[in-house]
């Protein structure tokens, strides 16, 4: 993806701009999507872009959660209809979720009726409590509640340690009050969102969202760009699903991590290549009688330079893939 997207993430505290930098920034802004909102109190820290009419995306950082980024490391979106607003993912803390809520309120005063979670991972659900005051329906895959309940203690402990007291404040587990069994349509007035549960892939509770007015497809963490994919479900299931998505017609897709919006089918290709490389390498190692330990040192390392956070997640991905593939 364009380096502009990456550089934007890297620029945390803004140094004084040279004239050349200023011109470059002005040009980048002119070329950016329809709308850009930066709340005054959160300048340099939080922005959303209108990628299609009424459809806003905040891009998270390619980082692990920390006191500095306050769990703002995934993409979060909101869709504005004639009657109501739906939020898609809430970031990794209540403080980050509140920034998202402020960004929504700067755009519209319409009621926030739905908070949709694309899957159970903390970087997508730990901001849920920031929307409690709106009394929305919390919406997710029917397996999300069980997944989150099983992991709640561990997720809370890990995030408390990594975020620190201040950014951890107010975080609680909020499971769906509206569970999607297969497919569900939410009416926002003049536009609807079609929610579809997906088979086990990135996790066992991935949910996709399609906006009927613009055709935009929100893939959650079924699509990673720049940020290395994280496997917590089935690598074979994930590859099969990506194959299916590559045949879909959508004018744009929104990844769970990556740029605000991307095009099909190209957007899927680096992830297909990454997961496909792991499968091919692990299968060969198993066939040659190699161990899991061998695999974690060899499999998929040709992909190392293609992804951010590779060293943090790759060995876990290989471990999960090995467990799945050794019983073929
Ligand atoms: Zn994520």
Q: Which of 113, 255, 253, 274 is nearest to 189 (CA)?
A: 113
Average pLDDT rounded to a whole number, residues 106-119:
98
Span 277-304, pLDDT tens digits:
999 999 999 999 999 999 999 999 999 9
Helices (H), 176-261: 235-246
pLDDT(18) > 80 = no
CA-CA-CA-CA torsion for 309, 311, 313, 315, nearest 10 degrees?
Answer: 160
What share of the chain in percent tops pLDDT 90?
A: 85
Span 248-274, pLDDT tens digits:
999 999 999 999 999 999 999 999 999
75 pLDDT band, cuts 50/70/90, is very high
CA of 155 to the centre of ligand 1 (A): 13
CA of 27 to the centre of ligand 1 (A): 30
Integer Cα distance of 211 and 160 in angstroms: 35
Residues 6+ apart with CB under 8 A from 132: 174
Integer Cα distance of 227 and 300 in angstroms: 15
More confident residue, 21 or 153: 153
CA of 191 to the centre of ligand 1 (A): 26
Residues facing residue 36 across a β-bridge? 49
Enumerate residues with CB within 5 Å of ligand 1 (an ion): 74, 121, 123, 221, 256
pLDDT(89) > 50 = yes
pLDDT(25) > 50 = no
Q: Which of 189, 180, 178, 221 is nearest to 203 (CA)?
A: 221
Helix (H, G, I), strand (E, B) or coil at 257: strand
Residues 6+ apart with CB under 8 A from 163: 65, 66, 67, 70, 71, 92, 93
Of 40-54, 99-113, 167-181, 211-225, which gets the smallest average pLDDT? Answer: 40-54
Integer Cα distance of 298 and 278 in angstroms: 10
CA of 61 to the centre of ligand 1 (A): 11
Helix (H, G, I), strand (E, B) or coil at 42: helix
Average pLDDT rounded to a whole number, residues 14-21:
43
Predicted pLDDT of residue 46: 85
* Reported pTM: 0.87
pLDDT(226) > 60 = yes
Integer Cα distance of 299 and 301 in angstroms: 6
CA of 91 to the centre of ligand 1 (A): 9
Predicted pLDDT of residue 146: 97
Integer Cα distance of 195 and 308 in angstroms: 29
Task: Strands of the chain (E only): list them.
Answer: 36-37, 48-52, 55-58, 76-80, 85-88, 112-116, 137-141, 178-180, 183-187, 192-197, 207-211, 217-224, 253-257
Integer Cα distance of 238 and 244 in angstroms: 10
pLDDT(42) > 70 = no
CA distances for 273 relative to 50, 219, 268, angstroms: 30, 18, 9
Tracing tokens 């504005």 back to the chain, one arrives at 80
Residues 6+ apart with CB under 8 A from 110: 80, 81, 83, 84, 85
pLDDT(73) > 60 = yes
Average pLDDT rounded to a whole number, residues 24-41:
44
Q: Which of 268, 283, 270 is nearest to 322 (CA)?
A: 283
Contact at 8 Å (CB) between 124 and 220? Answer: yes
Handedness of CA 315, 321, 323, 327 (dihedral sign): negative
CA of 25 to the centre of ligand 1 (A): 28
CA of 257 to the centre of ligand 1 (A): 6
Predicted pLDDT of residue 172: 97
Integer Cα distance of 260 and 203 in angstroms: 22
CA of 73 to the centre of ligand 1 (A): 7
Predicted pLDDT of residue 45: 61
CA of 20 to the centre of ligand 1 (A): 35
């Amino acid at each position: 993806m364009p380096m502009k997207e990456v550089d934007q993430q890297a620029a945390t505290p803004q140094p004084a701009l040279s004239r050349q930098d200023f011109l470059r920034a002005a040009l980048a802004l002119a070329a950016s999507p329809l709308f850009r909102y930066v709340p005054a109190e959160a300048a340099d820290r939080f922005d959303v872009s209108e990628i299609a009419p009424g459809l806003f995306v905040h891009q998270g950082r390619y980082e692990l959660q920390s006191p500095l980024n306050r769990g703002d490391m995934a993409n979060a979106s909101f869709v504005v209809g004639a009657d109501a607003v739906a939020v898609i993912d809430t970031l990794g803390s209540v403080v980050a979720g509140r920034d998202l809520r402020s960004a929504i309120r700067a755009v519209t005063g319409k009621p926030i009726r739905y908070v949709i979670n694309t899957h159970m991972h903390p970087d997508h659900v730990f901001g849920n409590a920031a929307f409690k005051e709106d009394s929305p329906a919390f919406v997710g895959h029917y397996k999300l509640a069980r997944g989150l309940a099983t992991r709640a203690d561990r997720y809370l402990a890990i995030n408390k340690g990594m975020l620190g007291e201040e950014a951890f404040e107010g975080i609680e587990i909020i499971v769906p009050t509206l569970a999607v069994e297969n497919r569900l349509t939410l009416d926002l007035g003049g536009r609807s969102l079609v929610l579809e549960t997906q088979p086990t892939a990135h996790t066992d509770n991935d949910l996709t969202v399609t906006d009927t007015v613009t055709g935009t497809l929100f893939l959650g963490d079924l699509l990673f760009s720049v940020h290395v994919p994280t496997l917590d479900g089935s690598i074979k299931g994930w590859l099969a699903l990506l194959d299916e998505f590559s045949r879909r017609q959508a004018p744009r897709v929104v990844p769970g991590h990556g740029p605000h919006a991307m095009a099909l089918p190209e957007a899927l290709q680096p992830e297909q290549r990454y997961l496909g490389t792991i499968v091919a390498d692990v299968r060969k190692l198993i066939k040659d009688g190699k161990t899991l330990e061998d695999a974690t040192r060899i499999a998929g390392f040709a992909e190392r330079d293609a992804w951010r956070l590779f060293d943090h997640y790759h060995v876990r991905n290989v471990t999960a893939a090995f467990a799945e593939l050794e019983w073929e």
